[in-house]
Amino acid sequence: MPTILDQDIMYLPGVGPQRKELLNKELGVKSWGDLLDYFPYKYVDRSRIYSIRELSPDMPFVQIKARILSYEEFEMGPRKKRVVGHVSDGSGVADLVWFSGAQYVYKTYKVGEEYIIFGKPTVYGGRFQFAHPDMDRVAELQLSQMGMQPYYSTTELMKKRGVTSRALEKIVKAMLERLSTPIEETLPTFITEPLHLVSRDVAMRCIHYPRNAKEMQDARVRLKFEELFYLQLNILRYASDNRRKYRGYVLNRVGATFNTFYHDHLPFPLTGAQKRVMHEIQGDMKSGQQMNRLLQGDVGSGKTLVALMAMLLAVDNGFQACIMAPTEILAEQHLTTIRDFLGDMDVRVELLTGVVKGKRRREVLEGLVSGDVKILVGTHAVIEDTVQFAHLGLAVVDEQHRFGVAQRAKLWGKSDNPPHVLVMTATPIPRTLAMTIYGDLDVSVIDELPPGRKPIQTLHKYDTQTTSLYNGIRQQIKQGRQVYVVYPLISESEKSDLKNLEDGYEALKDVFPEFRLSKVHGKMKPAEKEAEMQKFVSGETQILVATTVIEVGVNVPNASVMVILDAQRFGLSQLHQLRGRVGRGADQSYCILVTGYKLSDITRKRIDIMCDTNDGFRIAEADLKLRGPGDLEGTQQSGIAFDLKIADIARDGQLVQMAREEAQKIVEADPTCTSPAYAMLWRRLRELRDVNVNWAAIS
């Protein structure tokens, strides 16, 4: 049923067919409802009127009430005039100045009439003046109604065609005056009353025309909460549906394999965080519902050990497990790590990547079908149709954002029931963001490093200090260590003054003739890249010159120095990931951030944060605040965008939490979405989905 908000904006005063087309094209605004949802980006307090006597040049925008006394014109070159209007309010005289539009000024603002004049006061020729002020006739303005003036974002084309923020404000005002009935409510009173939220009608009117700061704040809180609530309700409903739809294998036995490993092969005592996370995983695996858990942990926190213990639980219950990594080199490292952990235990672990071919590949595939292969380590080759398991009970996915949703879904087809899924990421994600990006996954966090790890020292150097930098590198290599040197680019770019990797590699060979260097970048052939990486991993080369291709997962415990050139070009999350390539052994490690002297405030903040802390979660929170959710490492790659009109995931953490708690109550009370008590909520959720709101691409 069409409502009043579905009406066309064309018939509002000040719109018409041409402006309708412009607003539709530039802002996507077609109906009254669209216009209502186009919120101001800031407000200026218009509730106070100053006298000319009270003005001072350091004031921001203010308003005075004054009468126009006369006009003067001053020549400014060929066919250019400056128009000056003299005004008085009885306490003094001020000037109004226009550098263009003389005819419009004379026609609109009449001598002898009183106006509310709004602008920034400056002093010229010993007198206060306002350049191109906003002006309203006092007779047409209800002074008692003046409060916070809204400012709307407009485009260049709109401004050219006369649709300024002020013009939009007048159109919105005309629409609100015609809305004689209250705007329909979208949240029930059992949510709004306990949380002290104003009604949708009050919120929508006050977001556009608040009389004071409190009204504006109340409106913003209500509308932000509503937006976040429906986002969370959608995510939690989806997760609840999946849990009801997909039963999970019951893996409740802790048997000989797990116990032998735990008592005889554990390389070091588990940290408290590892024990807690293991307990959460075990609870999921024996619950009878499919586990979908995100395991977050900083680089080196021991995620792989926890994943292996989960896989051994699957083996003890007669199931197989697999771990999928984003690259062949990372898969091979997982294989080595797992085999080293297991030692002489009788658990068959095999590798399946693109390089495993012929007879070896056939043996692995046969071992999977027969059930002899208990743990499979691989890349996305694992999800190919030719790969069949006897009984897959657990799938571990490393560095989640490298695998698409469709690829992970293919894993589910490898078993009668979908296997339990454990997603691991070393990119710490702030809690508020995790609740939204990974809203359908339960989240576990390993927030302790194993004992014996020394914190990495992070230092900031300028690119004029290379002599001391090179001396430090030479010293570390002479002590038997290895060094990464990371460049942001591969080849020379006309638009950029960045040092490029090719030139840098040659220069470093000249600086360090006594050492051997490897070179790795994204444009090399995979085999060539693997060979160069392998030289560094084995210790054949001492310096690895690379781009960010080494960001994820490369494990060389002997590497103790990470040099990042042009560090200002990297995001915080990326810098943290790169830093995580060192500090993996018992030796003191260093991360050197090299920049030029000219740095923006944001860049300087990023560098300072990196030097101050090694805590990935603090860094991720800071990154979210500096860059916003759409830019976060891992979110852009997977196409996640937040189409939020007013809420801000980075700054509205408390509201995200509140919204999630309320949404959780609804989903628990009405999992099938059929109770009449919640009909309003499910109807509204359907409406939002129908108008193609981007609900964030949940995993």
pLDDT tens-digit series, residues 332-345: 889 988 999 999 99
Instruction: State residue 673 phi and psi, 5-degree precision.
Output: 60, 40
Q: Which tokens is 281 given?
A: 């995983």
pLDDT digits (tens, 9 = 90+) for 524-536: 787 888 888 889 9
Residue 495 pLDDT: 45
CA dihedral 376, 301, 544, 521 (to 10 degrees): 60
> Given a cut of 90, is residue 553 above it in pLDDT?
no
Lowest mean pLDDT among 129-138, 207-216, 420-429: 420-429
In eight-state DSSP terms, residue 247 is: B
pLDDT computed for residue 407 by the predictor = 66
Q: For position 698, what pLDDT does the model report?
A: 35
Instruction: DSSP letter for 12, please.
Output: S
Give the alpha-carbon dihedral of 287, 288, 294, 296, to 10 degrees: 30
Q: Look up residue 125 and give its amino acid.
A: G
Is residue 492 predicted with pLDDT exceeding 70? no
**Over pLDDT 90: what percentage of the chain?**
46
Q: Give dist(CA 679, CA 699) in Å, integer.
A: 27
CA atoms within 13 A on the CB side of 230: 26
Mean pLDDT confidence for 210-230: 92
**Terminal C-alpha separation, the chain:** 34
Please check the confidence at residue 410 and state whether its pLDDT lies above 90.
no
Helix (H, G, I), strand (E, B) or coil at 378: strand
pLDDT winner (highest mean) among 56-60, 581-585, 647-651:
56-60
- The burial class, CB within 10 Å (0-12 / 13-18 / 19+), for 637 is exposed
Structure-block tokens of residue 685: 């959720």
Greatest mean pLDDT among 289-293, 609-613, 620-624 lies in: 609-613
Total residues belonging to the chain: 699
- pLDDT of amino acid 6: 87
Tell me, what's the pLDDT at 445?
Answer: 85
Helix axes 572-579, 601-612, angle to 10 degrees: 30
Give the residue with greater pLDDT, 645 vs 111: 111
| Among the ranges given (126-140, 146-160, 626-640), the one the predictor scored with the smallest mean pLDDT | 626-640
Choice among 322-331, 548-557, 631-640 with the minimum mean pLDDT: 631-640
Tell me the two tokens of residue 384. 């190919």
Residue 631: which pLDDT band, with cuts at 50, 70 and 90?
Answer: very low
Among candidates 44, 29, 57, 56, which has minimal Cα distance to 171? 29
Chain-centre distance of CA 447, in angstroms? Answer: 21
Across the range 494-516, mean pLDDT stands at: 78
Pairing label, strands 127-131, 93-98: parallel
pLDDT for 26: 92
What is the band of 641 on the pLDDT scale with cuts at 50, 70, 90?
Answer: very low
pLDDT tens across 281-335, in order? 999 999 988 888 989 887 778 889 999 999 999 999 999 999 998 888 788 889 9
Question: Would the CA dihedral through 495, 498, 502, 507 be positive or negative?
Answer: positive
Q: Are 484 and 550 in contact (CB under 8 A)?
A: yes
Confidence of residue 692 (pLDDT cuts 50, 70, 90): very low
Q: Are 39 and 645 in contact (CB under 8 A)?
A: yes
Residue 675 and residue 416 in contact, taking contact as beta carbons nearer than 8 Å:
no
Overall average pLDDT of the 482-492 stretch: 79
> What pLDDT is attached to residue 238?
83
Residue that wins the pLDDT comparison between 383 and 229? 229
CA pair distance 292, 304, nearest whole angstrom: 17
DSSP 316: H
- The more confident residue out of 86 and 126 is 86
Paired tokens of 619: 């860094």
The set of residues, in sequence order, having a beta carbon less than 8 Å from that of 510 and lying 6+ positions away, is none
If you compute the radius of gyration of the chain from its CA atoms, what whole number of angstroms results? 32
Average of per-residue pLDDT values in the chain: 85
The confidence band for 630, taking pLDDT boundaries of 50, 70 and 90, is very low
**HSE toward the beta carbon, residue 636, CA cutoff 13 A:** 10
H helix intervals, 398-525: 405-412, 431-437, 466-478, 501-511
pLDDT > 50? residue 636: no
Helices of type H across 246-346: 256-260, 272-285, 303-316, 328-342
Q: In the β-sheet with 559-565, what is the strand arrangement from edge to edge?
A: 457-462, 590-595, 559-565, 482-486, 543-546, 517-520
Is residue 647 predicted with pLDDT exceeding 50?
yes
Cα(233)–Cα(236) distance, integer angstroms: 5
The two structure tokens encoding residue 570: 């990297």
pLDDT in tens, 414-468: 777 789 999 888 776 776 677 676 666 788 888 887 777 788 999 999 988 888 9
Share of the chain above pLDDT 70, in %: 89
**Which has more confidence, 379 or 584?**
379
In this predicted structure, the answer to whether residue 280 has a pLDDT above a threshold of 70 is: yes
Torsion of CA 491, 495, 497, 499, to 10 degrees: -10
| CA 215 remoteness from chain centre | 30
Least confident of 231-240, 364-373, 445-454: 445-454
Q: Running DSSP on this structure, what letter comes out for residue 116?
A: E
- Per-residue pLDDT, 530: 80
Residue type (1 letter), 86? H
Q: Rounded to whole angstroms, how far apart are CA atoms 153 and 164? A: 9
